[in-house]
């Protein structure tokens, strides 16, 4: 059963993504738990740092695609799923009062990569792999999630990842600016990093984090028409075929409609 | 004779820059053809990807400097040349409905580099070389063209390129963020990249591309006074001397006026 | 005695930071001299380039922490110190009419790194080291200074530097985007770079520099409430303890209040 587990040790909390047998794919229940857990962690002023990781050797695969037929079949559902379920979870991570460190091993793709990118620091094992291979599934990245990636690595690298849909290794991820460091023992390295952060002044860390967000330039917000246009693909044949082909383990044959 | 050649094979178009004997320097005719050809390619919804390359072993030298006496001798001409000839061509590339891949070999400087930077992906041969050595010609980069470079690599790297005016190799270009990949057989690599993109869902690619542009932060637009000030160099002695020295293959001796 | 020394040779000026026995830590007198000297250099239209360096084998340590009890003990003092002393000095460097080249050796941390980042180009010796280790001193980076770093290397790398407070070497600084080049003989390399710039057209260089600043996207300015909140740490016990521990060479023990 999918779950978000939170452990605390002294002033450092560790949040673990878990969806056994599904590479920790993030289902709606997990997105909503992520939001709740991060809101609770953020409210706990005794904390100094939060580590985010996945269980059983993987960080997280993307969203749980098996759910799409149920939760993302109409434009209304897609707007709700991305803007009311995923966006608030990613905002809760990015807006957490405390510094956050992603400890990445194994698969870190799609929604998993989005969670990692919402953290302040990203350390990864050399064998971890990365990507957003949704061009084979027939849909684009939702605007809110796209914005996070653009802010981190810029338009050119974001488009390479999305247009090619390749899965790539930690060295390439670091070169693209997705990672701060590659660490052979990533869990120990994340603990040491969290300790180092925990030994600094917490008020200073919180102000640094909050002001760095505030002072990063933002594009003008999308109008509601632009937002709907960004989800126009939901009604396409290619989206239905792409997801169906994925679930049937077949190659899709997109028609552009 | 200078020309823009377009070939189509299946769902991938290849646009070739050609100005024999001039390293494919881009003259006014080619800028205008580039705009027209890209508008036509963008309107063809059967297409999935456009490759941009140069003929005869070079991508493209800069603008055709021999034309400057005729087309860029007064502030009015300079405003027209940059804002009504070059800018719309670069906008047509950047705004193309379909993903675009620059396949770069040989010389890729000045206007050639601007064309490459307007594409979504940039692959280059190891021996390709890059730069915007116009500080020796006595003029700065026009604001619209500067903005493209700033968006791709930021202010610090942009100013290094412009203030020093060095020509540099593909490894340095990649380090500066100008290139996605260095490929020994760049034409084959660009074909494979285009095929990979063509196999993804086209509506998804188009929305990803359009939204990535829309969600990239922009500086406030220049006022008309700022725009004129950005072209104040046209009246300078140094500009006239710089271009004349270049055409005479002499070293310029700039006076700052 | 602390001082800012300016030498001129032909069209290139060299400004040296000097505070003997304190690794060139920048005191209020030096910040104010920096502003004045840069305003004078900027007004001299015969100049083509300014090199900034430190004396006696170091670029510069941070601010002079021994001064803090006197000049930065209340929110009003902190606002004055950062917004009326440091910010105008950094603005005078960033806004200098002429291209600027930082030649970095030895220690380049805190305020020293801020001075380097306000220059257009940064060349460093391989053994130089970098960082902003103020999390151990109990205070965050002031908003104006944070903005300079965000613009240069983005939010993710800025937060790594601030949250961990590590001191790191030139190779890591270059990887983070803080440096343009690592040079074994950094003073000679800076001279050559300045000569190269001086040989280009000065009007072109000035317009390139001015327009690159103008066309870089900016976050909305802080309100006065936001600005005061950004300095709320001045009243904290942790700030007092952090500075005291540093001056006593003891490890701080922060309480988050």
pLDDT tens readout for residues A197-247: 999 999 999 999 999 999 999 999 999 999 999 999 999 999 999 999 999
Most C-contacting residue of A203, A205, A206, A209 (CB-CB within 10 A), to test interface: A203
Q: Which residues on A lie below 8 Å from B196 (Cβ)?
A: 164-166
Cα-to-chain-centroid distance, residue A42: 18
- Residue A249 forms part of a structural domain: no
Q: Does C197 sit within 8 Å of B164, measured CB to CB?
A: yes
Q: Which residues in chain A are closer than 8 Å to B203, comparing Cβ atoms?
A: 138, 140, 232-233, 236, 238-239, 256-257
- Count the neighbouring beta carbons within 10 Å of the beta carbon of residue B190: 26
Q: Which residues on chain A are in Cβ contact (under 8 Å) with C222?
A: 214-215
Q: Is B155 on the interface with C (CB under 8 A)?
A: yes
pLDDT given at position C63: 87
pLDDT for B110 equals 97
Q: Is A147 on the interface with B (CB under 8 A)?
A: yes
> pLDDT band at residue A150, thresholds of 50, 70 and 90?
very high
How many structural domains compose chain A? 1
Which other chains touch chain B, taking contact as 3+ CB pairs less than 8 Å apart? A, C
The span from the CA of B191 to the CA of B186, in Å, is: 9
Contact A201 C239 (CB under 8 A): yes
**Does residue B69 register a pLDDT over 90?**
no
- The 3-class secondary structure across A231-244, one letter per residue, is CHHHHCHHHHHHHH
Q: Who's near C205: CB < 8 A, 6+ residues apart?
A: B135, B140, B162, B163, C48, C98, C99, C197
Predicted confidence (pLDDT) per residue in C197-231, tens digit: 999 999 999 999 999 999 999 999 999 999 999 99
Which residue do the tokens 């922490």 mark? C65
Q: What is the DSSP letter of B83?
A: I
Contact (CB<8Å) B201/A254: yes
The pLDDT assigned to A63 comes to: 87
- In whole angstroms, give the CA distance from residue B240 to residue B254: 10
- Closest in A196, A204, A214 to C164, CB measured: A196
Q: Is residue A35, in this structure, part of any structural domain at all?
A: yes
Mutate to test the interface with A, among B202, B207, B220 (most CBs of A within 10 A): B207
Mean of pLDDT values over A51-78:
93
CATH of the domain at C24: 3.90.226.10
Average pLDDT over residues C33-48: 98
Chain C neighbors of B158, CB-CB under 8 A: 212
Q: Within a domain: residue B254?
A: no
- Whether residue C30 lies inside any domain: the answer is yes
Q: Is A17 in a helix, a strand, or coil?
A: strand
Closest-CA residue in chain C for B155? C212
Q: Does A70 touch chain C (CB under 8 A)?
A: no
Model pLDDT, residue B66: 87
Q: What is the pLDDT of residue C89?
A: 98
Calculate what percentage of chain B has a pLDDT beyond 90.
Answer: 96
- Residue B171 belongs to domain spanning: 3-186
Phi, psi of A222 (to 5 degrees): -65, 140
CB pair distance less than 8 Å for C147 and A201: no
Strands (E), A56-117: 100-104, 107-109
B155 contact partners, CB below 8 Å, separation of at least 6 = C151, C152, C212, C213, C216
Distance of alpha carbon B35 from alpha carbon B89, whole angstroms: 4
In a domain, A134, yes or no: yes
Contact B203 A140 (CB under 8 A): yes
Decide if C60 contacts C2 (C-beta within 8 A). Answer: no
Count CB atoms within 10 A of the CB of residue C217. Answer: 17
**Cβ-defined contacts of A179-184 (< 8 Å, 24+):** A179/A104, A179/A122, A179/A123, A179/A124, A180/A121, A180/A122, A180/A123, A180/C156, A180/C157, A180/C160, A181/A123, A181/A124, A182/A123, A182/A124, A182/A125, A182/A126, A183/A123, A183/A124, A183/A125, A184/A125, A184/A126
Instruction: Find which of A143, A144, A156 to mutate to test the B interface (most B CBs within 10 Å of its CB).
Output: A156
Across the range A89-95, mean pLDDT stands at: 98
- The reply to whether C215 touches chain B by the CB within 8 Å rule is yes
State the pLDDT at residue A207: 98
Q: Chains near C, with 3+ CB pairs < 8 A?
A: A, B
Read off the pLDDT of residues B31-67 as tens digits, 9 standing for 90 and up.
999 999 999 999 999 999 999 999 999 999 988 888 9
Within a domain: residue A10? Answer: yes
Chains in contact with A, counting 3 or more C-beta pairs less than 8 Å apart as contact: B, C
- Give the pLDDT confidence score for residue C118 in this predicted structure: 98
Name the one residue in this structure whose structure tokens are 């670069």: B90
Best mutation target among C137, C159, C241, C251 (most A Cβ atoms within 10 Å) is C159
Q: Which of A202, A207, A212 sits opposite C254 (nearest CB)?
A: A202
Specify whether the CB–CB gap between B186 and B124 falls below 8 A. yes
Q: How far is B162 from chain C (nearest CA, A)?
A: 7
- A160 contacts chain B (CB < 8 A): yes
Residue with tokens 């969600």: B215
Burial class (CB in 10 A: 0-12, 13-18, 19+), C29: middle
By C-alpha distance, the chain B residue nearest A140 is B204
pLDDT by residue (tens digit) across C68-99? 989 999 999 999 999 999 999 999 999 999 99
Residue A249 to chain B, least CA–CA distance (Å):
15
Q: Which of A153, A161, A162, A171 to mutate against chain B (most B CBs within 10 Å)?
A: A162
Q: Do residue B152 and residue A157 have CB atoms under 8 angstroms apart? A: no
The size of the A-B interface in CB pairs under 8 A is 118
Question: Nearest chain B Cα to C192, which residue?
Answer: B164
Within 13 Å and on the Cβ side, how many CA atoms surround A76?
0
Would you say C15 and C58 are in contact if contact means Cβ atoms under 8 Å apart? no
Question: Looking at the domain assignment, is residue A190 inside a domain?
Answer: no
Question: Which residue, chain included where needed, has tokens 């602390």?
Answer: C2
pLDDT at C64 over 90: no
Tell me whether residue A81 is in a domain: yes
Residue B181 has pLDDT above 90, yes or no: yes
């Amino acid at each position: 059963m999918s779950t978000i587990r939170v452990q605390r040790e002294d002033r450092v909390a560790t949040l673990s993504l878990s969806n056994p047998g599904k590479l920790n794919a993030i289902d709606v229940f997990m997105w909503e738990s992520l939001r709740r857990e991060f809101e609770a962690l953020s409210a706990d002023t005794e904390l100094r740092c939060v580590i985010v990781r996945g269980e059983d050797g993987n960080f997280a695969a993307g969203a749980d695609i098996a759910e799409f037929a149920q939760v993302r079949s109409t434009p209304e559902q897609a707007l709700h799923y991305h803007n009311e379920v995923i966006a608030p979870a990613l905002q809760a991570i990015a807006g957490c009062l405390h510094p956050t460190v992603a400890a990445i091993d194994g698969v870190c793709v799609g929604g998993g990569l989005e969670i990692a990118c919402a953290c302040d620091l990203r350390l990864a094992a050399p064998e971890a792999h990365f990507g957003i291979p949704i061009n084979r599934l027939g849909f684009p990245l939702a605007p809110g999630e796209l914005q996070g990636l653009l802010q981190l690595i810029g338009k050119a690298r974001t488009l390479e990842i999305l247009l090619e849909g390749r899965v790539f290794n930690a060295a390439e991820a670091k070169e693209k600016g997705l990672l701060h460091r590659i660490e052979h023992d990533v869990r120990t390295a994340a603990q040491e990093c969290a300790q180092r952060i925990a030994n600094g002044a917490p008020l200073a860390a919180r102000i640094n984090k909050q002001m760095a967000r505030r002072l990063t330039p933002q594009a003008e917000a999308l109008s509601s028409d632009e937002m709907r246009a960004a989800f126009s693909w939901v009604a396409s044949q290619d989206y239905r075929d792409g997801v169906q082909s994925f679930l049937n383990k077949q190659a899709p044959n997109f028609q552009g409609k």
